[in-house]
Structure 1
Amino acid sequence: MCEQTPAALARSYYETIDTDRYEALADRLDPAFVHVRPDQTLRGRDRFVTFMREDRPMTDTEHVVDAVYATDPGDASGGGPAGEATGVAVRGRLLEATGDELFTFLDVFTVTDGRLTRLETYVPVE
């Protein structure tokens, strides 16, 4: 995987899911990746990729990124020294294949050494 800023890494996360490129998705994730979402917590890169490929309820969807917020927008590299975590928040919408909006989301990523290590997903309560 080529070196990406944390913001570019977060954007590419959605692109790999939306295009069913699961090996590329795995390349972006740390082996100990954790995804905390309102309905469950997925621990481990392999478990997460398996869920995205085989178990998620809807696969014909598109993530629309409305805004990306980096920990330090003035830092062109988007991160600190090796081993130091940085954060990226993404505000967006999940669309059905028809283009209808399923829900809005706020994803908060932790990035360490060029890989996504943690993702916390927040969705509005209606």
Structure 2
Amino acid sequence: MNESDAEDAEATVRAFYAAIDDGAYDRLRELLAPEFVHHRPDRTLDGRERFVRFMREERPRTDTEHVVEAVAVAADRETVFVRGLLRAADGETLFGFVDVHRVGTAGIEALSTYTK
């Protein structure tokens, strides 16, 4: 991968949060590889369609915003680290998170979320 690949990986990850926050589920689907998997403290979501369905229909709150505080792309230009906050519509911080994305040619392949 070259330098523009790292920029593309970061842009893809930033677009991921925007799609979730905007309820743009078709756009979210486009950003994810078919084999996408999300590992989080309370569950694992296997597959792009399963993840999109969860975000659209099953997550506890949809009135939230991901506030991205820091982004770093690893030397492999495929791993993107994000530190941020999840805030409610009223501005209340619900929790902090660190996400580790793996971005490939087909989109985001995997995401591991760590919360505090």
The structure in which a higher percent of residues are helix is 2
Partner of 1:53: 56
**Structure 1 segment 1-126 matched on structure 2, within 5 A:** 5-72=8-75, 79=77, 86-124=78-116
Structure 1 stretches of at least 4 aligned residues deviating more than 2 Å after TM superposition: none
SS at match of 1:5: helix
Stretches of structure 1 that go unaligned for 5 or more consecutive residues are: 73-77, 80-85
When Rg is computed on C-alpha atoms for both structures, the one with the higher figure is 1
CA contact (8 A) 1:6 1:114 kept: no
* Cα shift readout 1:46-83 (whole Å, capped 9, x = no counterpart): 000000000000000000000001013xxxxx84xxxx
* Cα shift readout 1:3-51 (whole Å, capped 9, x = no counterpart): 9611111111000000000000000000110000000000000000000
Partner of 1:83: none
TM-score (ref. length: structure 2): 0.92
Q: Hey, what's the Cα distance between the residues in 1 that align with 2:106 and 2:35?
A: 14
CA contact (8 A) 1:20 1:53 kept: yes
Number of positions where the alignment pairs a residue of Structure 1 with one of Structure 2: 111
